[in-house]
Amino acid sequence: MKVLVIGGAGYIGSHVAKALMKSGHRVRVFDNLSSGQEINLFKQNEFVKGDILDYPALLSAMQGQEAVIHLAAKKAVGESMENPMIYSSNNISGSLNILNAMVETGAKYIVFSSSAAVYGMPEKIPVDETAPLNPINYYGFTKLEIEKFMQWYDRLKGIKFVALRYFNAVGYDAEGDILGKERGSQNLLPIVMEVLSGKREKLKIFGNDYPTPNGTCIRDYIHVSDLASAHLLALEKLAGGMPSQSLNLGTGKGTSVKEIVEAVERVSGKSLPVEYADRRPGDPAVLIAAADKARELLGWQPQYTDIDKIVETVWRIN
C-alpha cells in the first residue's frame, strides 16, 4: 500500500516507518522536523518536509496515497495544561487538516496515535476500552476529540480508522537502525539515561507513598517496536475490511518506578542516584492496559515482555 506516515521522523513514527518499509509498503514520510530528526529517515522511504498546519503542503504530500498513519502531535502533558493553544492548533486543527485532506485526495484509511491519557484516572485496573473516557489533562482531551472527529468522518465520509491508545511507550529499535535519540523528553526512561550519562545529578522519584507494593507508581511499559507492529497490522486489517476501532496497546504487565530503577542498574551495571520527591500532580497510582482487543482483532502479540530486555534497547544507544 502507499502510505503517508505523518510524523515519520519522530520517535515512534520512525519505528513505524521501518516496520512498514520492511513489509513492502511504499512509505512517504511527512514531518516538519520540529521534534523528528532527519537521521531517523530511511533512504528507501520518500521524505517530504512539511507541517500539518500548512494545508496546501499536506494536500500535495497526500496525493496518490491510500492510507495515512498520523503520529504528528505535541505530547507533553504539563505543557498542554500551561499552553493549551499549541495543543488546540497542532493536535486538533492539524488532525482536522489531515482528515479533510484525506477526503479531498481519496485516502481511505487512517491509523492514529492515541493515548491512555483518554482515560484519565481509571477506576478499574486493568483498563479496557469500555472504561469511562475522562481525560484529566488537555493533551488527553485533544486525543479523545480527534478520536471523535474520526468517528464522524467515518460516518459521513467512509474514512476507516484505528485509534491506538498507547500506554507508556519505551525502548529503541533493537537492530540499531534508528539513530536519533528523542530530545527533551520528560518521561522516566529518557530522564534515567540522562542521570547515567551525568547530564542530571539524580532521578527524582515522584512519590513513594502510593498504595502499591513498594509505594511507587506502576505503569505498563510497551516497547516502541511492538507499537510499530500494531500500526502495520491495524493498517492491513483496515484494508481487509475491519471496521473502525479504538484499541489499547500495552503488555498487560505493570512495572513500578523502583523496579525500573532496579532494571536499569542490572542492565547498565551502574548504580543510579535517586531521591524521593513529592507526588507529581495528576499521576494515577497504577495504569495497566487490558489489550486483549488488539490481540484478538489484529492478531498482535508484543514481543517485549521482560523489562530488562526493554531497558537494554535503551541502554545500548546511550
Residues with catalytic function:
139
Interatomic CA distance for residues 97 and 259, integer angstroms: 42
What's the order of all strands across the beta sheet hosting 46-49? 46-49, 26-31, 2-6, 67-70, 109-115, 160-166, 245-249
Name the amino acid, one letter, at 15.
Answer: H
Q: Which is nearer to ligand UFG, 219 or 223 (CB)?
A: 219
According to CB under 6 A, which one of 187, 208, 212, 268 is a site residue for ligand UFG?
A: 187
The region of 2-10, 21-29, 114-122, 150-158 touching ligand UFG under the rule CB under 6 A is 114-122
Tell me the Cα Rg of the chain.
19
Q: Which is nearer to ligand UFG, 283 or 292 (CB)?
A: 283
Interatomic CA distance for residues 120 and 246, integer angstroms: 16
Query: Binding-site residue total for ligand UFG (CB under 6 A)?
Result: 20
Helix (H, G, I), strand (E, B) or coil at 22: helix
Note the residue count of the chain.
318
Q: Which is nearer to ligand UFG, 187 or 268 (CB)?
A: 187
Interatomic CA distance for residues 184 and 239, integer angstroms: 36
Instruction: By CB under 6 A, tell whether 115 contacts ligand UFG.
Output: yes
Beta strands in 141-278 (DSSP E): 160-166, 168-170, 203-206, 218-219, 221-223, 245-249, 255-256, 274-277
* DSSP 8-state secondary structure symbol assigned to residue 52: T
What part of residues 73-92 is at the interface with ligand UFG (CB under 6 A)?
75, 77
Instruction: By CB under 6 A, tell whether 206 contacts ligand UFG.
Output: yes
Is residue 109 within a helix (H) or strand (E), and if so which, with residue range? strand 109-115
Sort strands 221-223 and 274-277 into parallel, antiparallel or unpaired: unpaired
Sort strands 160-166 and 168-170 into parallel, antiparallel or unpaired: unpaired
Instruction: By CB under 6 A, tell whether 146 contacts ligand UFG.
Output: no
Interatomic CA distance for residues 111 and 90, integer angstroms: 18
Instruction: By CB under 6 A, tell whether 70 contacts ligand UFG.
Output: no
What part of residues 3-42 is at the interface with ligand UFG (CB under 6 A)?
none
According to CB under 6 A, which one of 29, 116, 178, 310 is a site residue for ligand UFG?
A: 116
Instruction: By CB under 6 A, tell whether 127 contacts ligand UFG.
Output: no
* DSSP 8-state secondary structure symbol assigned to residue 91: I
The region of 115-123, 148-156, 227-235, 297-305 touching ligand UFG under the rule CB under 6 A is 115-123
Instruction: For residue 137, give the nearest of 76, 85, 207 by alpha carbon.
Output: 76
What part of residues 277-316 is at the interface with ligand UFG (CB under 6 A)?
280, 283
What part of residues 246-265 is at the interface with ligand UFG (CB under 6 A)?
257
Q: Which residue is nearest to ligand UFG (CB)?
A: 217
Instruction: By CB under 6 A, tell whether 168 contacts ligand UFG.
Output: yes
Supply the minimum distance, in Å, between the C-beta of residue 188 and ligand UFG.
4
Instruction: By CB under 6 A, tell whether 117 contacts ligand UFG.
Output: yes
In the complex, the residues that contact ligand UFG under the rule CB under 6 A are 75, 77, 115-117, 139-140, 168, 187-188, 191, 203-206, 217, 219, 257, 280, 283
